[in-house]
Amino acid sequence: MKTQINGVEITPEIAEVLEEWYSHDRIENTQPATYSRWLSKIQDYLTRTWVDLDNDSDKIPVLKDCTDMVIQIKDDFMRLIPEKDSTNQQT
């Protein structure tokens, strides 16, 4: 049996990953939230490194590309993080 949501097939492997990601009581403990925090730290480091390089450095284009990739990945992960539900939060 195939499960599809909006035309995207959800395989058993995808369902297993999603279950692992969202089996936490608190949203900030989910894998997408953790990955987003990690990517933000990497983005900050890459940006600081880029700013500290000389303008004529041949590494600047590579850093720009890497920073752009990190931002895109982080933004996609952030879309996987559900918004906090104030009626279902633990203190």
For the whole model, what pTM was predicted? 0.63
Bridge partners of 4?
A: 9
In which band, very low, low, confident or very high, does the pLDDT at 89 lie, cut at 50, 70 and 90? very low
pLDDT of residue 90: 46
- What distance in Å separates the CA atoms of residue 74 and residue 90, rounded to the nearest whole number? 26
Residue bearing the bigger pLDDT, 86 or 20? 20
Which helix (H) or strand (E) covers residue 5, if one does?
Answer: strand 3-5
